[in-house]
Amino acid sequence: MAGEVLRVQGGTPLVGELTVRGAKNLVPKAMVAALLGTTPSRLRNIPDIADVGIVSELVELHGVRVTPGDEPGELVLDPSAVEDADVVAVAAHAGSSRIPVLLCGPLLHRTGRAFIPDLGGCRIGDRPIDFHLDALRAFGAVVDKRPDGLYLKAPERLRGTLLTLPYPSVGATEQVLLTAVLADGVTELRNAAVEPEIVDLIAVLQKMGANISLHTDRTIRVVGVDELRGATHRSMPDRLEVASWACTALATQGDVFVRGARQVDMMTFLNVFRAVGGEIDITDDGIRFWHPGGPLTPLHLETDVHPGFMTDWQQPLVVALTQASGVSIVHETVFEGRLGYTDALVQMGATIQLFRECLGGQPCRYGQRNYAHSAVIAGPSKLYGADLEIPDLRGGFSYVIAALAAQGHSTLRNVGIIKRGYEDFLGKLAGLGADVEWVPAS
């Protein structure tokens, strides 16, 4: 990725086919789960994205042997020699990802202690980890926060506990699952997140021998077991990437077949895509998304936890909404800082205004707290190429979509961030007929 500056010539409808593989928000967690087993785990449908590389290095530092499996996209993780990692080597991963915090439970079970460096991930809000730490303490872990990271100890076997999350956090639910499965006794987690990626992680853990039940009221009950074995698991597809390509088709007036897309994971998105005026054709092999011609329809939308409209679907959809005829309202209720990327769309010619109030629906946690978390988008707007710096993963991909839909050329800097969650996105763009090329950084 020489210099990570991408030149995009806009104005071409993207047409063709691409394949989406395993979910960025499941695979690294399934890799962490492998640490809990006594025998190797075999994970399939693994995408070649930076986050998988980072987690491979991290688990290797803790003694897990990571090797390619027999089929393409397969990884074998052998946890038989898990050991304390060198703190300096782990600290070198500070700021690289948010996954390290999920190593707490597995490492406490395997070695009695854990060191977790400062977390990275997209800057889309404060992203505290208080729910994680409260849960770990309730299991009996001792948590020492120091300037370089978290030092945790389990003076005795962690024990099951009763927990209620203040908000159905994906990461905190995963933290509890990865800790409860080998804890002594029963854990009951109320107000848990139930995203499909969490259900897929539960499937991995059940294959490993865990006893987990998911109740209708967001309660998860885990009966701890003494030992887990390795599992073979094919990851669910990346429904966030699918939505990104769907919105690319819509915003560029294109027609894209996403092989590997699975309807059941994204019904809410599919309803919204249709409501805006996009067409879909769902098959067993994937989903075709296209712009049927004519004007797009504006709408009012609120992001939410599953089964609501995902916060990660919001950014690509907003680009498409700049092309709808009329006023759309988007209320972001999951992360307080996830609309900053719209400044760049305005620079490109979009008419978007941010508001601190909760617009268009139910009041949310951010209503009285001075966060610009509602957007009013008036369209259709002609977009023009611009020189942009990519801020985060999903916002960054939305810049790519906007640049493809715009008149003229754009230069996008810091494109490496997109590698974190989109496998071979440049190859996929080229395959759809996009006019993109690397240019040397100035």
- For ligand EPZ, the binding residues in 400-419 under the rule CB under 6 A are none
Task: State which H helix or E strand residue 403 sits in.
Answer: helix 393-405
The DSSP symbol for 124 reads S
Nearer CB in complex with ligand EPZ: 35/406:
35
- For ligand EPZ, the binding residues in 121-160 under the rule CB under 6 A are 122, 125-132
249 binds ligand EPZ (CB under 6 A): no
| Nearest to 320, CA basis, from 388, 435, 397, 419 | 397
Piece of 41-49, 168-176, 222-230, 401-409 that binds ligand EPZ (CB under 6 A): 168-176
Nearer CB in complex with ligand EPZ: 104/324:
104
Q: Least distance from C-beta 61 to ligand EPZ, angstroms?
A: 19
7 binds ligand EPZ (CB under 6 A): no
Amino acid at 423: E
Q: In terms of C-beta density within 10 A (0-12 exposed, 13-18 middle, 19 or more buried), how is residue 101 classed? A: buried
Paired with 17 in beta bridges are: 257
Residue 306: what are its φ and ψ, rounded to 5°?
Answer: -60, 135
Piece of 36-44, 81-89, 170-178, 353-361 that binds ligand EPZ (CB under 6 A): 170-178
Q: How far apart are CA 123 and CA 392, in angstroms?
A: 7
Nearer CB in complex with ligand EPZ: 324/417:
417
Residue 88: what are its φ and ψ, rounded to 5°?
Answer: -65, -40
Nearer CB in complex with ligand EPZ: 311/381:
311
Piece of 87-95, 120-128, 262-270, 403-411 that binds ligand EPZ (CB under 6 A): 120-128
Piece of 66-74, 79-87, 244-252, 307-315 that binds ligand EPZ (CB under 6 A): 307-315
429 binds ligand EPZ (CB under 6 A): no
Which one of 14, 30, 386, 393 is in contact with ligand EPZ (CB under 6 A)? 393
367 binds ligand EPZ (CB under 6 A): no
Which one of 167, 274, 433, 441 is in contact with ligand EPZ (CB under 6 A)? 167
Q: Least distance from C-beta 303 to ligand EPZ, angstroms?
A: 9
Piece of 41-49, 65-73, 164-172, 184-192 that binds ligand EPZ (CB under 6 A): 164-172
Q: Mark out the alpha helices in 181-338 (DSSP H runs).
A: 196-207, 239-251, 267-276, 311-321
218 binds ligand EPZ (CB under 6 A): no
SS3 302: strand
| Nearest to 160, CA basis, from 176, 143, 142 | 176
258 binds ligand EPZ (CB under 6 A): no
Give the angle 182-306-52 at the CA atoms, nearest 5°. 60
Which one of 273, 289, 313, 335 is in contact with ligand EPZ (CB under 6 A)? 335
- For ligand EPZ, the binding residues in 11-50 under the rule CB under 6 A are 24-25
The DSSP symbol for 308 reads S
172 binds ligand EPZ (CB under 6 A): yes
421 binds ligand EPZ (CB under 6 A): yes
Q: How far apart are CA 169 and CA 182, in angstroms?
A: 21
69 to 108: interface string for ligand EPZ, x by CB under 6 A: -----------------------------x----------
Q: How far apart are CA 62 and CA 36, in angstroms?
A: 12
Q: How far apart are CA 204 and CA 187, in angstroms?
A: 18
Which one of 47, 79, 171, 396 is in contact with ligand EPZ (CB under 6 A)? 171
| Nearest to 198, CA basis, from 189, 316, 417, 107 | 189
SS3 320: helix
The CB-nearest residue to ligand EPZ is 171
The DSSP symbol for 352 reads E
Q: Tokens 């709808």 belong to which residue?
A: 324
| Nearest to 168, CA basis, from 211, 131, 121, 117 | 131
Which one of 21, 394, 409, 419 is in contact with ligand EPZ (CB under 6 A)? 394
Q: Return the active site residues.
A: 122
Q: Mark out the alpha helices in 16-167 (DSSP H runs).
A: 27-33, 50-61, 87-91, 104-111, 130-138
Nearer CB in complex with ligand EPZ: 120/360:
120
Q: How far apart are CA 139 and CA 180, in angstroms?
A: 8
Structure tokens at 156: 């005795």
356 binds ligand EPZ (CB under 6 A): no
- Per the omega criterion (within 30 degrees of 0), is the bond before 307 cis? yes
Q: Tokens 């699918």 belong to which residue?
A: 242
Q: Least distance from C-beta 171 to ligand EPZ, angstroms?
A: 3
Binding site for ligand EPZ (CB under 6 A): 24-25, 98, 122, 125-132, 167, 169-172, 193, 195, 240, 310-312, 334-335, 393-394, 421
